[in-house]
Amino acid sequence: MASTPNPIHSWFLGPKAENDLLLKELIDFAFEAHVDWRRSYHPEDASPISASTQRTVAAISQRADLRREFNGLLQRLRESVPYFHPRYNAEMISDTSVVAQAGYFAAMMHNPNNASPDTAPVTAALEDEVAEQLATMIGYDTSRCWGHLTSGGTIANFESLWIARNMLYHPVAAMLATRALGIDISVTMPDKSKAPLKNLDPWELLNIRPAASLDLSPEQKEFAQSLRELLAAADVPSVARAWGAGDAGPGRALWQKLAATGLTGTTGPIRASTSNGVS
């Protein structure tokens, strides 16, 4: 009697590379799609790599060297630990799925920098989607969650400690900011009472619950939204470029608008470097 097929068997390359055709198809598809994207991006632009360049003695020699070194790498990799095989079960590492392998290859061709949505508009958004999916799987409130994908478990542990440290000292930083900017913000204490943030001592600040230090009142949320709208309308990148070019006018105008919102810490004098010195 035949056993019931395991549905996850098609999701892995397999200990004997049973799904090699599937993975090869996906990688080939990803490569062809990437090639098409490059060739269709401003097709009117000339390429610095000409057919004649590829036929030079130097180019032919370089490609031969590359193939030889790459083959050497492949041979060395055969000495790796066989995490993929059922005989090996000594560590937490196991085989990666076909989905992960194909997706990794496809994204690698684009070499995205997820430091900012400006430099990685697609993969940064995908990172947010994965974080939301993980939060949903665990049972967290996705409206109050944020996630970040790391290169591995060790970095994840380091970042968790770093975030925990920042969460602990967030009330201290917020208190210093309220004093510097002249803002009066109340915070919920562990006993559910309210207290002005700027009046608390270090012990009281370090015992504020994370949710209390991060949550904003409706008035504070409205104020934050007004600041976001003000900065968006001001075209901050253009202001920064003008400032760097020595024109402090747009920067001073934005500074005054921020001061008018009640950020009294911005009402002091500002200095801008110019090509002729400092003004």
Q: What is the pLDDT at residue 264?
A: 53
Q: What is the pLDDT at residue 197?
A: 87
Q: What is the pLDDT at residue 144?
A: 82
Q: What is the pLDDT at residue 265?
A: 55
Distance CA 2, CA 7 (A): 15
Note whether 257 and 230 are within 8 A (CB). yes
- Ranges of residues in the chain with a pLDDT under 70 are 1-2, 216-220, 264-279
80-137 pLDDT, tens digit per residue, is 999 999 888 777 788 899 999 999 999 999 999 888 888 889 999 999 999 999 999 9
Distance CA 204, CA 145 (A): 26
Note whether 198 and 184 are within 8 A (CB). yes
- CA count, 13 A, side-chain hemisphere, 265: 9
- What is the CA angle 104-109-115, rounded to 5? 75
Helix boundaries (H) for the chain: 20-40, 51-54, 57-77, 98-108, 121-138, 153-181, 202-206, 210-214, 218-234, 236-244, 249-260
DSSP H/E element including 186? strand 186-188
